Amino acid sequence: MDLVIATTNKGKLGEIRELLKGLDVKVLSLADFPGCPDVVEDGETFRDNALKKARVVAAYTGKTALADDSGLEVDALDGAPGVYSARFSGEGADDLKNNMKLLKLLDDVPESGRGARFVCVLALAGPAGSGVGEKVIRGVVRGRIAHQMAGPGGFGYDPLFYYARAKKTFAEMGPGEKNKVSHRGRALQKLREALLLFFQVKEK
């Protein structure tokens, strides 16, 4: 099975490749299809955006596409940044600017009010006539926002997302440790099971 991962985010792509290891799936990326149109992520939910990306990429490439939309929902901010996670700090947003804005907004919020969750929605879509159809999978992990960034790994809000069971932020975890508990890891484990059960993908 050829599977096009509908992202240009190298961090996401690496995690997805790692979590699909051992399946008889040829993982491709948008780099293999340089003319693929950009998809405007203007949906109101992670599901909307993931499905939109998967459909566009499947239609363009003629192959089954897997799209991810994910983000951070902070309790004290009524679920923000949510679908705006990647562009939270406005024009020219990057991981550092987004993290610094989040820290500033939570500056006076006590430990008890710093709860948050990471959400990942995966959408699988096949091209017209392929018979693949569509499938949407969701993964969630709860944690809290630390008072300062910690850890050299990960990407996005990982340096601020403290996972109590491990007593460290996601950025302080190694890739294998993070993948076992993360929102994306949980969603991809469900996807792996779906590929084996519903799409007749074999294990190598």
Domain residue spans of the chain:
2-197
pLDDT per residue as tens digits for the range 49-77: 999 999 999 999 999 999 999 999 999 99
Alpha carbons 126 and 142: distance in angstroms, whole number? 31
Give me the pLDDT at residue 173, please.
Answer: 97
More confident residue, 130 or 166: 166
More confident residue, 17 or 177: 177
The burial of 73, by beta-carbon neighbours within 10 Å (0-12 exposed, 13-18 middle, 19 or more buried), is given as buried
In eight-state DSSP terms, residue 131 is S
Give me the pLDDT at residue 45, please.
Answer: 96
Structure confidence at residue 43 as a pLDDT band (50, 70, 90): very high
Give me the pLDDT at residue 172, please.
Answer: 98
Residues 15-32 have a mean pLDDT of 88
Give me the pLDDT at residue 9, please.
Answer: 80
Structure confidence at residue 160 as a pLDDT band (50, 70, 90): very high
Tell whether the model's pLDDT for residue 131 goes beyond 80.
no
In eight-state DSSP terms, residue 64 is E
Mean pLDDT of the chain: 92
Structure confidence at residue 130 as a pLDDT band (50, 70, 90): confident
Total Cβ atoms within 10 A of residue 30: 21
Tell whether the model's pLDDT for residue 141 goes beyond 90.
yes
CATH of 2-197, one of 1.10.20.140, 3.40.50.1220, 3.40.50.970, 3.90.950.10: 3.90.950.10
User: What element of type H or E holds 10?
Assistant: helix 10-19
Tell whether the model's pLDDT for residue 182 goes beyond 90.
yes
Q: Which two tokens stand for residue 15?
A: 């995690």
Catalytic positions: 69
In percent, the amount of the chain with pLDDT more than 90 equals: 72
